[in-house]
Amino acid sequence: MTKAPKKTIPRDISWLSFNARVLQEAADPTVPLKERIRFLGIFSNNLDEFFRVRVAALKRMISLGKKARMHLEQSPQKILDSIQLIVLEQQSEFNRIWNLILQEMKREKIIIKTEKDLTRDQQKFVTTFFEEEVRSNVNPLMIENIQEFPYMREKSIYLAVVMSRKNSAYKRKYSLIEVPTRAVSRFIQLPSSRPGEHQIILLEDIIRFNLPQIFAFFEYEKFSAHIIKFTKDAEFDIDYDEALSLTAKIERGLKNRRRGKPVRFTYDKEIDPALLEYLIRRSGLTKKDHLIPGGRIHNFRHFMDFPSAVFRGKQNRRKPFMQQDLSNTTRVTDVILKKDVLLSFPYHSFNPIIDLLRESAMDPDVTMIKITAYRLASQSKVVNALINAARNGKQVIVVLELRARFDEENNLEWKEILELEGVKVVTGVPDLKVHAKICLIRKRKNNQTIHYGFVSTGNLNEKTSTVYCDHCLLTANKNIMADVNRIFNYLENHTTGAKYLKMCNTLLISPTNMRKELLKNIQAEIKAARSKKKASITVKLNSLSDDILIFKLYEAATAGVEVKMIIRGICCALTQNKKFKVAMRAISIVDEYLEHARVLIFHNQGKEKVIISSSDWMVRNLDHRVEAAVVIQQPAIAKELREIIEIQLKDNVKARILDNHQNNKYVKAVGKKIRSQVEIYQYLLKKTTAPAQVVTQD
């Protein structure tokens, strides 16, 4: 028997390859201009988070003298060296794309002006705007006079200022000014005398123009100012002091995060060399750290919100529509109690989720609502519905994950709001993040207890539901809801309730049985292939980095199982190997919407098993989080999911091939061009006109 290979692609290198696919979208001339600018913002934001989390983790491993076990053949230092080279190449490509976009913006009569090329009227406007809107938010730091280098705020950009006199090169003074993007928009539209032309100046350039006024006290004559930015370690250790509540521990951790060590320093390559050296030395960085020279503009994440009003021929997103089973009903609850319903966002409207919770809040027969929450919208309709339920006398329990990275502060605020309204808030399990997306509603009618709710692949966030592709199964299936109830029993009593998770026999649950069940399903396909029977595995995930499952997929391909994968982000699997009897096929789709759903399909000797899950195939998801996956019971829904996946596998417009070399080559278009997100929209829209069949629940 041929042995399967045992090598993988380093996780962080694969992630950088994913971000390169985002950059490809920004470079694609067929993508609308405002979307190309948005993709540059997404690329920048992604990279910030990568440095704050992954690069910081690698640096910590080095400082502790530990090797990164998730990287099988390379040390953390080698990974960091590779990251530096790749990031510098990507930065160069980023700058090239931005320059092309600037040219296209000019053709569209959208001009970004600097402080050096303003008309007289615009100079007056900028001076007045600064005095009225900006000056009160500008607080220069005279860094030469400060003994300890000042705290640099995360996610902020700073103008590094050099002041000098014309007749002396020696009398110079340095200062740092935080660009106040939290208080003032970064994009300010200038008055223009040219019809149809939009002229925009960035906030930092308004400050540059007014430097003589800001520093008038010193009577300097020459000023130069260039953007710099520090990226810091975003991790914080939870202090497991039993005297502290989890809330207090999170609050302490957030304070520690703000004092995190710099892991990257980006700067305008035109910055004064002496000031650059000074900043590197004072901030405790060395030439070995990630020092990234760039162009004039940094913190491109703000460009995700570039003013859309300036673009001609506005291209709005396709509007979501009502799922076919819910399009002609006044009560979502009535439908769910009769049949399972699958919502596929962002194609389907998110409103049924809100309506379900609102109905439950008012239904006199409903006694309890239990729900998990990971990332909530800033103006959350979900929270409003839950608060209304509590006000109406329902018992409402929200399992709120306070450790959702970068949403910790938001979730602390939601905790306080919910508890003030009488909602019971459960704040998770030590050492396990609660990432499952589940809801249970209990009602008593005619002396019977009825449970219904949902299992989802994505967050209960009405804002991201318009951009993220996810699936949500609304169901009253007794076996599914019994397991959902067991999960909540565990989450509410995690110190004594571990037995509840072990009792789950319908759902796949992390960290108890999910890994075991996945391996069991893959092994069944291997057994079928070795018996010369048809065998196939199709997985759609955000990330694939778990060695155990990757090696099992290698074993499957070596045995002759057809393995097809749609992986949006990290894919550590080497998909090409001579030992594979059937070549593995892996693609990544990066397009208008973010592919976030997790779907698994096993041939299962012709009795196809279709699963939707909240979990990626990563160690953290399978071993260190509470996750939930559900096997689809209704054949019509299983068929719909399979057909959606088949459309994606046929994508030849936005699909890239995930090969061993991470080249991100597009799938070649042969025959009809298929852009899967457009095709899926049309596929689901057509179903709204088809007659719905009512199927009674088991």
Active site residues: 435
Q: Which residues pair with 540 in a beta bridge?
A: 566, 599
Look at the block and give the residue holding tokens 């909540």: 488
Write out the DSSP string of 456-516: ESS-S-TTGGGTEEEEEEEE--HHHHHHHHHHHHHHHTTTT-HHHHHT--SSEEETTTHHH
Beta-bridge partner residues of 256: none
b/e 213-225 (16+ beta carbons within 10 angstroms → b) = ebbeeeebeebbb
What are the distances in angstroms from CA 373 to CA 155, 191, 379, 424, 453? Answer: 25, 45, 14, 13, 14
Please identify which residue in the block is written with the tokens 């030395």: 281
At 636, list the tokens.
Answer: 């019509």
Note whether 200 and 113 are within 8 A (CB).
yes
Q: Where are the beta strands (DSSP E) in 182-326?
A: 187-190, 198-202, 222-232, 262-268, 290-294
Packing angle of the helix pair 676-687, 635-649 (nearest 10 deg): 150
Q: How far apart are CA 130 and CA 204, in angstroms?
A: 11
Closest CA to 677 of 564, 553, 594: 594
**140: preceding bond cis by omega (within 30 degrees):** no
Distance CA 642, CA 649 (A): 10
Question: What is the residue whose two structure tokens read 């940094």?
Answer: 298
Tell me the residue length of the chain.
698
Q: Which amino acid is at 643?
A: E
Report the C-alpha gap between 584 and 561 in whole angstroms.
9
CA–CA separation, 368 and 271 (whole Å): 61
CB 615 within 8 A of CB 627: yes
Q: Residue 1: enclosing H or E segment and its boundaries?
A: none
In a 3-state reduction of DSSP, which class is residue 60?
helix
- Cα dist. 131→126, 127, 128, 157 in Å? 9, 6, 5, 21
- Can you name the residues that pair with 562 across neighbouring β-strands? 536
CA separation for the pair 181, 127 (Å, rounded): 18
Number of continuous H segments (helices) and E segments (strands) in the chain: 20, 25
Secondary-structure breakdown of the chain: helix, strand, coil percentages, each rounded to the nearest 5:
40, 25, 35
CA distance 339 to 693: 9
Q: Are 204 and 159 in contact (CB under 8 A)?
A: yes
CA-wise closest residue to 126 among 159, 106, 134 = 134
